[in-house]
Amino acid sequence: MGEALRRSTRIAASKRMLEDEESKLAPISPPVVLKKKIKTVPKHKANEPADKEGNKSSAAEDLEIGDPIPDLSLLNEDNDSISLKKIAEDNRVVVFFVYPKASTPGCTRQACGFRDNYEDLKKYAAVFGLSADSVTAQKKFQTKQNLPYHLLSDPKREFIGLLGAKKTLLSGSIRSHFIFVDGKLRFKRVKISPEVSVNDAKKEVLELAEKFKEE
């Protein structure tokens, strides 16, 4: 009995040693890693709108010095359609001043400043006020302040956007003025005070008039 037990113990020990040696030689399989799919959204510029899928929408770039006036038509305070191209064809120099909202204090100062200097300006340039206000609001503003020039209504901010005078992507306009000569942008002044807008626009128009005399 004792001899048989010892023999059985030796066999079991030898078997365990063989299994250990085989396990050392067996290749170790790498752990399986489940990759999680990450949904990416197409990139778009910070100031450019995107659709519901995140795709960049096409948008025209701001006008720069030397660019031609866009082929757009806007309504004036009398609900008449005014072609920007036609304005440029009929007037060598055209001044557009942008104001945020009709009948507010700063915009009133700006509009009245152009009114008070209109006699000097009209000798050399056509003057137009421009804002996102409705036709009705423009008419009230013109009548109340006795403005001698047309006010253009741009509720979708199409022209205002092309001029680079949008305040935010969704709403608002930046006080500014722009001067076109022979249908091309010559002066671009964005984010200025009412008084600076009037004074600088008049100065720029008179400088142009002097240059024209030398031609």
According to DSSP, the β-strands at 93-98 and 184-190 are: unpaired
pLDDT band for position 6 (cuts 50, 70, 90): low
Going 183 to 187 to 190 to 194, the CA torsion angle's sign is: negative
Alpha helix positions (H), the chain: 2-25, 84-90, 105-116, 118-121, 135-145, 158-162, 194-214
Residues 191/176, Cβ–Cβ less than 8 Å: yes
Q: What is the mean predicted confidence (pLDDT) over 55-60?
A: 40
Predicted local distance difference test score (pLDDT) of residue 58: 36
First to last CA, the chain: 131
38 vs 62, residue with greater confidence: 62
Question: Is 112 annotated as catalytic?
Answer: no
Residues 167/100, Cβ–Cβ less than 8 Å: yes
Residue 4 has pLDDT above 90, yes or no: no
Q: Residue 60: how many CA atoms within 13 Å on its side-chain side?
A: 14
Two tokens at 182? 């022979």
Predicted local distance difference test score (pLDDT) of residue 122: 97
Two tokens at 103? 């009948």
> What's the mean pLDDT when you consider all of the chain?
83
Catalytic residue among 88, 98, 107, 130: 107
The whole-angstrom separation of Cα 101 and Cα 107 is 6
Predicted local distance difference test score (pLDDT) of residue 61: 83
pLDDT band for position 150 (cuts 50, 70, 90): very high
Q: What is the mean predicted confidence (pLDDT) over 103-129?
A: 98
The whole-angstrom separation of Cα 212 and Cα 92 is 10
2 vs 206, residue with greater confidence: 206
Please tell me the least confidently modeled range out of 60-69, 139-148, 187-196. 60-69
73-214 CATH fold: Glutaredoxin (3.40.30)
Two tokens at 184? 């091309």
Local structure of 215: helix, strand or coil: coil
pLDDT band for position 104 (cuts 50, 70, 90): very high
Residue 57 has pLDDT above 50, yes or no: no
